[in-house]
A and B are shown apart, each in its own frame.
Chain A
Amino acid sequence: QKEVEQNSGPLSVPEGAIASLNCTYSDRGSQSFFWYRQYSGKSPELIMSIYSNGDKEDGRFTAQLNKASQYVSLLIRDSQPSDSATYLCAVNGGGNQFYFGTGTSLTVIP
């Protein structure tokens, strides 16, 4: 069973702070990593993908990947109340099977 683990939270940060979301995965052969944002009652929305070790930045979002430690993280800088959502980590180990974590709930306090 391939596992993707996330802290369920809830994680609360004040507006303007950095939110740090973490994810670990069990399949060492995993190749592709994704972060999705899901608002309550809505579908997951892709916000970041990362394929190689290191950092990838897109606006206020930075994804970090460390394959040796089997760890992927998402940093949200200058957090806004509109960032309040559940963040899902997803891992693809090859082929087209994706494994999702249960998500981390983030609340940004104005």
Chain B
Amino acid sequence: DAGITQSPRYKITETGRQVTLMCHQTWSHSYMFWYRQDLGHGLRLIYYSAAADITDKGEVPDGYVVSRSKTENFPLTLESATRSQTSVYFCASNPLSGRAYEQYFGPGTRLTVT
């Protein structure tokens, strides 16, 4: 049972480059989320998705793009990376029913923008 996987786990990129972080979940959870975690700020929501083809902005969406063509995948794209986007990025999911609001996190991607 793989749960949520993220790739790559580590990424170094240059300012201005486009980079895509991948997130894949095997639970068929309806909701998926992208967070960034920075010292002093905790976890901040970037985007979330309620289902395939349904996405919405979170607290800090500027500079990011998401898509969700399949329930199991939720990629996050930085269209033109900036140093301020250096962070650890976590993908999370939670089911629609039952313990609907209990989020489960992937292992994270550490992104450095030089």
Contacts and interface: CB of A to CB of B under 8 A. Distances in A.
Contacts, number: 52
B27 interface: no
Query: Does more than half of chain B's interface fall in helix, strand or loop, or is it mixed?
Result: strand
Interface string B42-86: 111100101000000011000000000000000000000000000
Interface residues of A, number: 21
Nearest to B32: A96
Contact of B43 (A46, A49, A88): A88
A102 interface: yes
A26 to B, nearest CB: 14
Given A102-B41, A103-B42, A97 B58 contact: yes
Interface of A: 4, 32, 34, 36, 42-46, 49, 88, 90, 92, 96-103
